[in-house]
Structure 1
Amino acid sequence: MPQPPPRDESPEAPVRTVLLMGASNVSLGLRPILRSLRGGLEGDLNVLIAAGHGRSYADRTLTFGRSLPGLLRCGAWPAYANRPPGPPPLVCLTDIGNDLLYGHPPATLVGWVAACLDRLGPGAEVALTLPPSRRAAALPAWQYHTARGLLFPSRDPLPWDEMRRRADELHERLSALAESRSVASLEPPAEWYGFDPIHIRRSRRREAWERVFAGWRSFRPEGEGTLPRVPPVWGRAEQVRLFGRARSTPQPVWRSNGLSLSLF
């Protein structure tokens, strides 16, 4: 008896993993980030985001009742290590500077960034943003203390002259690290910022993230990505403490249009 022809079973489409690590600029820019990724990259995407206001690269932080582990100690790393097979992963390290306000010296912070790069393994395309030194250079002392008091009220402030010196040192050390690791780096233009010297203006976020992601060879910023409305995801990181109560959320928190989003 003749056998039926074999069923055509096409393999699953490869999934590209994108890892973003940062702080409040990533959280505030979530929708333009996802639209830029959807428009500038082909195929299905597995997006891993570790961010949050005041996030440290190593220490646990507590901001507005929300406590998160340091970026080096969060669940994004096991998720990255167990990513689905696909093209080389894309990685963005940004918002590097909060730890200066927590009192950590530049050399320590750059060491933490280097530890992140060490974990990525071969083949990853990496984009890194430098501190916005051009905006900081034009910042008067009173504006620094005002912004610091609003955003980091529980921290003892360093004098503005000392903070500027440390910021300049961080910029130099990060630039040298990026060059030594062949990592694409971008210094944010001063015009991305307004009175707030830390957060990118809302009107410039899409432009800013496309400029950052252009450091990846695989990214094509001329694409036009569309997304349905992204649901509220504040407080839905994998492991978070909200006002002292531990909360766990299974990941990913959202899937749509060939894009999977996980928060850490």
Structure 2
Amino acid sequence: MSPQTRPDEPTDAPARTVLLLGASNISLGLRPILRCLRGGLEGELNVLVAAGHGRSYADRTITFGRSLPGLLRCGAWSAYANRPEGPPPLVCFTDVGNDLLYDTPPATLVGWVAACFDRLGGSAEVVMTLPPSKRAAALPAWEYHMARGLLFPSLNPLPWDEMRRRADELHDRLSALAESRSVAPLEPPAEWYGFDPIHIRRSRRREAWERLFSGWESFQTNGEATLPRVPVVWGRAEKVRIFGRSRQTPQPVWQGAGISLSLY
């Protein structure tokens, strides 16, 4: 990053589009994510976020009264296709695993992720996390059932042995997909997680996102930038149902520090 440009100051360069696809880890880590992006990338940023607790890569889900379309079917793709001209887009895939709890076969889930890859075009820089297999390897059955009951109380659980088998298969298939697309996937360290085996600890979020985004060649590890206060954006996705009532929100939902944030 040039010494003349502060990371938290906009420039006259064309906006760079950043597409983040995932679930609750993105939603919980949105503020550190924005700070990392602002601290590590120059210029105006057009940030498109498709996330949310329990989000599926293809199917509509409902969690805590909020219903969202699957990532493959949300408005982020239209926004991505119509992005402003600028530097090559940056794309992040994470939280690939919720669909196992919805009884989706690993091969089907990886097919959905591959379909997302196919929509990106050839110029995008892509990073991806694998499922936290190192944390899962140390997870006893009772912790799995307790965590699943707290985070996904309405779902019928698979036996832990079968879930571990499917998680291992997902890990292998995602690794093969990443290799075929020339993407170096990030294996999340076990220490990023506590009792909750799915969500990155609050104290490790900055480290996790900075390490993941460092997979983009254009990302510079310069520390987090300061940001003005980002308002609460729960329920402000472009198209969402809240307790059965449809709501549409014009995008972007927030602009500041050279960042335009849109939710889908």
Normalised TM-score (structure 2): 0.95
**Equivalent position of 1:232 in the other structure:** 232
Q: Which amino acid aligns with 2:248?
A: S
Distance 2:65 2:172 in 1: 34
Deviates more, 1:224-233 or 1:200-209: 224-233
Distance 2:20 2:148 in 1: 25
Deviates more, 1:215-224 or 1:60-69: 215-224
Deviates more, 1:91-100 or 1:215-224: 215-224
SS of residue matched to 2:55: coil
Asked if residue 198 in structure 1 is aligned to residue 198 in structure 2, the reply is yes
Gaps (5+ residues) in structure 1? 1-10
**Equivalent position of 2:243 in the other structure:** 243
Asked if residue 40 in structure 1 is aligned to residue 40 in structure 2, the reply is yes
**Equivalent position of 2:214 in the other structure:** 214
Q: Is the 8 A contact 1:235 1:242 kept in 2?
A: yes
- Paired residue total: 254
How far has the Cα of 1:110 moved from its partner? 0.3
Distance 2:185 2:12 in 1: 34
- CA deviation map 1:134-188 (0-9, x unaligned): 0000000000000001111111111000000000000000001000100121010
Q: Could you list the runs of 4 or more consecutive aligned residues of structure 1 that deviate by over 2 angstroms after TM superposition?
A: none
Distance 2:184 2:26 in 1: 18
Asked if residue 68 in structure 1 is aligned to residue 68 in structure 2, the reply is yes
Q: Which amino acid aligns with 2:173?
A: R
Q: Is the 8 A contact 1:184 1:216 kept in 2?
A: no
Which has the higher Rg, Structure 1 or Structure 2?
Answer: 1
SS of residue matched to 1:186: coil
**Equivalent position of 1:162 in the other structure:** 162
**Equivalent position of 1:255 in the other structure:** 255
Q: Is the 8 A contact 2:178 2:184 kept in 1?
A: yes
How far has the Cα of 1:223 moved from its partner? 4.0
Q: Is the 8 A contact 2:17 2:47 kept in 1?
A: yes
Asked if residue 54 in structure 1 is aligned to residue 54 in structure 2, the reply is yes
Distance 1:24 1:124 in 2: 24
**Equivalent position of 1:4 in the other structure:** none
SS of residue matched to 1:104: coil
Distance 1:224 1:210 in 2: 9
- CA deviation map 1:228-248 (0-9, x unaligned): 111110000000000000000
Q: Is the 8 A contact 2:12 2:43 kept in 1?
A: no
**Equivalent position of 2:109 in the other structure:** 109
SS of residue matched to 2:209: helix
**Equivalent position of 1:182 in the other structure:** 182
**Equivalent position of 2:8 in the other structure:** none
Asked if residue 97 in structure 1 is aligned to residue 110 in structure 2, the reply is no
Q: Is the 8 A contact 2:67 2:240 kept in 1?
A: yes
How far has the Cα of 1:39 moved from its partner? 0.3
Distance 1:209 1:222 in 2: 13
SS of residue matched to 1:226: coil
Q: Is the 8 A contact 2:58 2:72 kept in 1?
A: yes
CA RMSD of aligned residues (A): 1.0
SS of residue matched to 1:230: coil
How far has the Cα of 1:225 moved from its partner? 1.2
SS of residue matched to 1:196: coil
Distance 1:13 1:131 in 2: 36
Distance 2:185 2:225 in 1: 24
Q: Which amino acid aligns with 1:24?
A: S
**Equivalent position of 2:133 in the other structure:** 133
How far has the Cα of 1:12 moved from its partner? 5.2
SS of residue matched to 1:156: coil
Distance 1:68 1:90 in 2: 23
How far has the Cα of 1:222 moved from its partner? 2.0
- CA deviation map 1:46-79 (0-9, x unaligned): 0000000000000000000000000000000000
**Equivalent position of 2:3 in the other structure:** none
